[in-house]
Amino acid sequence: MNFEYGINTKLVHAGEHTSRNVTALTSPIYQTSSFVIDELLPSGIKHGTYVYSRVSNPTLTALELKMAALEGGDAAVSFASGMAAISATLLALLKCGDHLIADRVLYGSTYELLTKGAPRLGFEVSFVDTSDPECVAEAVRDNTKVVFFETPANPTLKLVDIRKVSEVASENGAKTIVDNTFLTPYYQNPLELGADVVVHSATKYLNGHGDSLGGIVVSSSEDATNIRKGVLRDLGAALSPFNAFLILRGLRTLALRMERHTQNATQLASFLKAQKLVKRILYPKFDRNLELNPNLRTQMSGYGGMLAFEIRGGADEAVKFLNNLTLCKVAVSLGDPATLIEHPGLMTHAVVPKNEREKLGITENLIRVSVGLEDIKDIEADIEQALDAA
Ligand SMILES: Cc1ncc(COP(=O)(O)O)c(C=O)c1O
């Protein structure tokens, strides 16, 4: 730095842009909006140069490379939230007049996006039960471009055969998008089963600490480029470098956390089965379709930390149960260290019309549990006393 510069120049430039050739063990947070262009070519900026963090940033690249490796995809694109990732993917793969097939059992905002937002953009949407691949085949039209589902689905934990549905889609020239938020790449890799695109709410298990929003799409290089350059760059729902850093930090312990979440959820499901006030348990391990469909048994290597159950009675009993919890927290979201319990009909899925919810099994007495990392005996004791109070 030239010491002759004035105080104002020193305030802005002194000490900045020093390349000391350091190699940080942990990916640093590149908390910058733009990047210095070392050399501008007569043809423009050299390909692959970082320019502006709305399009790319080294901290985001580290997260994207990790997720592409974990899901077995060519490339990944990160977003400010799971909903940003889902809407950008649909915008990149569909144009006005195209047809999309989706399951009806979806996270509430995804349901709202597909029922209200998609038709406004001129996308035709058919809702079918994708757990029956024949329903998907029957819904296909000449202009079908995308099949979208979650497995296990939020909040009923319904399972969909990724291989079979992807086959039906690709035979008809459509792409399959799987929301893999509940199982994460630790337990399920949809791309290896034939899906074309995987989307995640990174807010959940990937981050795993409940301290940042984020979304990720993993796909072929071609789709990723369309999603990044065709949508992210212009609509601008970019992930912040700080949140990317937190999600990267969370991912390093994903395996350990998923094992514990699953161990606790399996134990809690057995505990709930023995409770008089519990009418029905929804947990992938107990899904009767696992016996009937061998693909479902092999498509996931673990059952995850999400379960749901129906309490005997109606909405009053469900609400009383929730209001009596002390250790477990009544909250939306999932995949946090703390056990989070909610009433989908009144909370995450309140946007789904009541008659539609009932048809989908999102009943007044349905309670969703994101089983946390606490000692299982403490979770059970809290749930037991809240059931007694209900
Ligand atoms: C399965 C699933 N997909 C997508 C989302 C949306 O993610 P975000 O809240 O990060 O936008 C959620 C949120 O709960 C979800 O449960």
283 is a catalytic site residue: no
CATH 3.40.640.10 domain locations along the chain: 58-251
Q: What is the pLDDT of residue 19?
A: 67
**Would you say the C-alpha torsion 223, 229, 235, 241 has a positive or negative sign?**
positive
In this predicted structure, the answer to whether residue 304 has a pLDDT above a threshold of 70 is yes
- Tens of pLDDT, residue by residue over 156-180, are 999 999 999 999 999 999 999 999 9
Does the domain formed by 58-251 have CATH 3.40.640.10?
yes
Catalytic residue among 30, 103, 104, 107: 107
- Tens of pLDDT, residue by residue over 328-370, are 999 999 999 999 999 999 999 999 999 999 999 999 999 999 9
CA distance 282 to 155: 9
Is residue 267 very low, low, confident or very high in pLDDT (cuts 50, 70, 90)?
Answer: very high
- Tens of pLDDT, residue by residue over 305-339, are 999 999 999 999 999 999 999 999 999 999 999 99
- Tens of pLDDT, residue by residue over 248-262, are 999 999 999 999 999
Instruction: Please return the burial class of 55, using the count of CB atoms within 10 Å of its CB with bins 0-12, 13-18 and 19+.
Output: middle
Ligand 1 and 150: CB distance under 6 A = yes
280 is a catalytic site residue: no
CA distance 277 to 298: 33
Instruction: Output the DSSP codes for 166-177.
Output: HHHHHHTT-EEE
> Which one of 201, 216, 246, 368 would you pick to mutate in the ligand 1 pocket, going by the greatest count of ligand atoms within 8 A of its CB?
201
CA distance 148 to 196: 11
Is residue 16 very low, low, confident or very high in pLDDT (cuts 50, 70, 90)?
Answer: confident
- Tens of pLDDT, residue by residue over 18-56, are 767 788 999 999 999 999 999 999 999 999 999 999 999
Is residue 17 very low, low, confident or very high in pLDDT (cuts 50, 70, 90)?
Answer: confident
Q: Which CATH architecture has domain 254-389?
A: Alpha-Beta Complex (3.90)
252 is a catalytic site residue: no
CATH 3.90.1150.10 domain locations along the chain: 254-389
**Interaxial angle between packed helices 241-251 and 58-71, expressed in degrees from 0 to 180 and rounded to the nearest 10:** 40
Instruction: Please return the burial class of 116, using the count of CB atoms within 10 Å of its CB with bins 0-12, 13-18 and 19+.
Output: exposed
- Closest approach atom of ligand 1 to CA 85: 11
pTM above threshold 0.95: yes
